Amino acid sequence: MPNRFAVIDFETSGLSPTVGCRATEVAVVLWQDGRELDCYHSLMNAGVRVPADIERLTGISNAMLRTAPPAATVMREVADFVGDIPLVAHNAAFDRKFWDHELGLLGRQRRQDFACTLLLARRLLPHAPDHKLGTLTRWAGLPDAGRAHRALADARMAAHLLQYLLETAERQHRRPGLCHPQLCQLQKVPAGKVSDFLRNL
DNA sequence: TGCCAGGCCCTCTTTAGGGCCTT
């Protein structure tokens, strides 16, 4: 059975759907056995205005969104693309709440858990300068995937980081090929118990 | 005009506070 992951990243109009923020761009990288198999990427028009500071951060302008496909169309496509493949994101709590919210607007529900490269990096890479996606990418010497804070580049960076984390677990703890349920368990283990947890898997 | 969230994790903690991350 191949070890497959759907690594997802949203760009949004703000930090939380609970205050009216919506997704503006989504990308999913289908990652299997250390390489990208396929990807989905689209801007999405949810009918919200992007604040100027977020326009500057992401480079996604309101003019770009006016001509983007409707959010509902994009979400149907990306949900069908992902299917029941296990999801991964950097700071998954953020992407999970937008995934759940946007699917909810379609009357659909999430079908799988999220693994989080931020939580995993805090456990497996405790000596990194910090655990921002960009910092970890540079610190670990991972490939430059393009402009940061665009969904496809960030999803590709997170996919390479996931691979680096899997290889770190293999190199440091002799645990090859951790699967998604094991990653979801590992990300909740107290930082001082990582070696014990991996040894006893 | 400026601000808005929330889960995780550490510590000067646990009857709490604040930094880290995401946009």
Digit-coded pLDDT (tens) for A54-82: 999 999 999 999 999 999 999 999 999 99
Owner of token pair 């997704």:
A23
> Which nucleotide's C1' sits nearest to the alpha carbon of A18?
B5
Q: What is the CATH number of the domain that holds A98?
A: 3.30.420.10
In angstroms, the CA of A201 and the C1' of B22 are apart by 30
Q: Return the amino acid letter for A39.
A: C
Dist. CA A124–CA A145, nearest whole Å: 22
In angstroms, the CA of A77 and the C1' of B18 are apart by 40
Is the pLDDT score of A103 beyond 80? Answer: yes
Q: Is residue A200 part of a domain?
A: no
The DSSP element (H or E) to which A10 belongs, if any, is: strand A4-12
Q: What angle do CA A49, A55, A59 make, to 5 degrees?
A: 130
| Of A154, A157, A189, A151, the residue nearest A173 (C-alpha) | A189
Residue A147's pLDDT is 86
Residue A77's pLDDT is 97
Confidence of residue A18 (pLDDT cuts 50, 70, 90): very high
Q: Is residue A141 part of a domain?
A: yes
Q: Return the amino acid letter for A100.
A: D
Residue A131's pLDDT is 95
Q: Is residue A132 part of a domain?
A: yes
Is the pLDDT score of A87 beyond 70? Answer: yes
Dist. CA A159–CA A29, nearest whole Å: 7
Q: What angle do CA A122, A125, A127 make, to 5 degrees?
A: 100
Residue A176's pLDDT is 83
Closest residue to B5 by CA to C1' distance? A16
In angstroms, the CA of A128 and the C1' of B8 are apart by 17
Residue A68's pLDDT is 97
Q: Cβ of A99: how many Cβ atoms within 10 Å? A: 23
Q: Is residue A201 part of a domain?
A: no
Q: Is residue A122 part of a domain?
A: yes
| Domain count within chain A | 1
Range of the domain at A55: 4-195
Residue A174's pLDDT is 84
> Which nucleotide's C1' sits nearest to the alpha carbon of A154?
B22
Q: What are phi and psi of A172, to 5 degrees?
A: -85, -30
Residue A1's pLDDT is 65
What mean pLDDT is predicted for residues A106-123?
94
> Which nucleotide's C1' sits nearest to the alpha carbon of A129?
B20
In angstroms, the CA of A118 and the C1' of B21 are apart by 8
In angstroms, the CA of A182 and the C1' of B13 are apart by 30
Residue A65's pLDDT is 96
Tokens at residue A9, please? 């990243």
Please list, in sequence order, all residues whose beta carbon lies within 8 angstroms of the beta carbon of residue A173, skipping any fewer than 6 positions away: A194, A195, A198, A199
For A30, the 3-state DSSP assignment is strand
Q: Find and list the nucleotides of strand B having atoms within 7 Å of a protein beta carbon.
A: 3-10, 20-23
Longest dimension (CA), chain A: 53
Q: Is residue A120 part of a domain?
A: yes
Residue A61's pLDDT is 94
Tell me how long chain A is. 201
Closest residue to B10 by CA to C1' distance? A191
Residue A173's pLDDT is 83
